[in-house]
Amino acid sequence: MRPFTTRFVNPLTRLVAGWLPGFGILEYRGRTSGKRYRTPMNVFRRGDHMVFALTYGPDVQWVKNVLAAGELDVRTGGKTVHLVEPELFTDPGRRAMPALIRPFLGLMRVTEFLRMRIDRPA
């Protein structure tokens, strides 16, 4: 499923993810290549943090890149925000997610998340 998503779904989602509620476009650099990447993701604000459900787990490249850099920019709601201090955590009850989203994540058995502090507008 991941190759299909990367090749076909992500390019389409990138067109609208920066504006749709619950979505964002992550902008970060590759940890070895230095290449700039733009990845559409579900993102949810929780106080002064943003939380990402790791539907493919924490071992995917974008997570490794963000952990190595310690920062990223996310475009959501038409605004770009700089995030810092990435923190992986496990939440079997998915309490960090909106109540409406929890059942869907439960069906996919998602229990791992990435939380980052909002630093400033990028």
Where is pLDDT greater, at 11 or 46? 46
Cβ atoms of 62 and 26 within 8 Å: the answer is: yes
Q: What tens digit of pLDDT does each residue of 27-76 get?
A: 999 999 999 998 888 899 999 999 999 999 999 999 999 999 999 999 98
Residue 5 clears pLDDT 70, i.e. is over it:
no
Cβ atoms of 81 and 122 within 8 Å: the answer is: yes
Where is pLDDT greater, at 8 or 40? 40
Cβ atoms of 26 and 41 within 8 Å: the answer is: yes
**Cα 64 to Cα 73: distance, rounded to the nearest angstrom:** 15
**Cα 44 to Cα 115: distance, rounded to the nearest angstrom:** 10
The model's pTM is 0.81
Give the SS3 label for residue 121: strand
So what's the pLDDT on residue 34? Answer: 93
Instruction: Domain ranges for the chain, please list them.
Output: 2-121
DSSP string, 22-90: TEEEEEEE-TTT--EEEEEEE-EEETTEEEEE-TT-TTSHHHHHHHHHTEEEEEETTEEEEEEEEEEEE
What dotted CATH number matches 2-121? Answer: 2.30.110.10
What is the helix (H) or strand (E) element at residue 118, kind and residue range? strand 112-121
Confidence category of residue 11, pLDDT binned at 50, 70, 90: low
Give the SS3 label for residue 100: coil
